[in-house]
Amino acid sequence: MNLPVFKCLDDILEAMPAYNAQAGYHAMYSSIFSGITTNPQLMMIPVDDHLVHRGDGVFEAFQMLDGRVHLFDDHLNRLERSAKAIELDLRHSQDEIKDICQQLIDSCGLRNALFRLYASRGPGGFTPNPYDSIGPQMYIIVSSLHHPDESLYEMGVKVGFSKVAVKSGGMSQVKTCNYISNVLMTKEAIDNGYDFVINVTDDGYLGEGATENMVFLTAENDLVFSSFDHTLRGTTLLRLQELSGELVNLGLIREMKESKHKVAQLMDAKEAFMIGTSLNALPISEVAGKLIGDGKPGKVTIAARKLLSDDQSVGGHRLV
């Protein structure tokens, strides 16, 4: 096999394959060239960036609905906490990130989009030595916004339990770019015919999904979610907790709280749902083959989804 030797970028771009997902990539900011590109083929990261070969970086994903970025400050605050946890200096301040996002939207003209922000240690070598890097970098991609099919909100999703271990040493609370266990959880769900899987600690306590939190309603009408000792502090989850007084006022729940629960308590739940940035509140119909409640979306789940949807429509940082 005789391989071509390319000496200019144009030749490489001409040889590179196009693929369907690229149709959803609308704009990217890269601190490497301190600019924006709207060409998906140019949305690249240096191969010797520590983000690529060590997973050495942190990230956030946040959505814009009708020109408003929901929970923008919450996501950026968590980005800063994650960066601090791995001793990574962020290249840009929160105000600078917001300005970059504004310019990204101006360049592609979307009103609904998903932002993916990656903060990396930067390029400079292939060793694990963080001091080889030329300095921290940031990449922000604007892509099409996709939500689960409406039929899943009507019928509910099927959930199983994961064999992938819960992240240890506090890493479950940090959104690093080393997401191999999350990838394996997603693969495990697909391979076993589930929509999602939930991990479980060695001592039997419920964890979280690959990229989402899980909430369930107990027999005592408490709306509970897993301890942040071993799960990520989900921004949408915490926003629902802030809004949950309305669920109390409606007589749907007694309270919403963080707690440690065993698998058996989820199996006896009155209702349950997955929750995350692009999911909102997505009802769970069954877990490991057992129906949750009557197997249909419950009143609390439906009300929680409406609360979050209403909040998204009036709040957030306006870009358009």
For Cα atoms 238, 56, 168, give the angle at the middle one, nearest 5 degrees.
55
State whether residue 8 is helix, strand or coil: coil
pLDDT per position as a tens digit, 267-280? 999 999 999 999 99
31-44 as b/e: b if 16+ CB within 10 A: bbeeebbeebeebe
Q: How many Å apart are CA 208 and CA 181, to the nearest integer?
A: 12
Confidence label for 2 from pLDDT (cuts 50, 70 and 90):
very high
Domains of the chain: residue spans and CATH? 9-143 (3.30.470.10), 150-314 (3.20.10.10)
Contacts of 157 (CB under 8 A, 6+ apart): 148, 195, 196, 274, 282, 283, 284, 285
| Residue 200: both structure tokens together | 């479980």
Whether the predicted pLDDT of 71 surpasses 90: yes
* Closest C-alpha to 168, from 214, 206, 205, 202: 202
pLDDT per position as a tens digit, 86-144? 999 999 999 999 999 999 999 999 999 999 999 999 999 999 999 999 999 999 999 99
Confidence label for 316 from pLDDT (cuts 50, 70 and 90):
confident
List, in sequence order, every beta strand (DSSP E) within the chain.
25-30, 35-37, 57-65, 68-69, 113-120, 137-143, 157-161, 196-198, 213-217, 222-226, 255-259, 271-276, 280-287, 290-291, 317-318
- The answer to whether the beta carbons of residues 56 and 50 sit under 8 Å apart is yes
- The answer to whether the beta carbons of residues 142 and 115 sit under 8 Å apart is yes
pLDDT per position as a tens digit, 158-199? 999 999 999 987 888 899 999 999 999 999 999 999 999 999
pLDDT per position as a tens digit, 240-264? 999 999 999 999 999 999 999 999 9
What is the pLDDT at residue 170? 84
Q: How many Å apart are CA 207 and CA 189, to the nearest integer?
A: 15
Q: How many Å apart are CA 60 and CA 283, to the nearest integer?
A: 24
- The answer to whether the beta carbons of residues 276 and 211 sit under 8 Å apart is yes
Q: How many Å apart are CA 60 and CA 138, to the nearest integer?
A: 11
Confidence label for 52 from pLDDT (cuts 50, 70 and 90):
very high
Record the pTM: 0.95
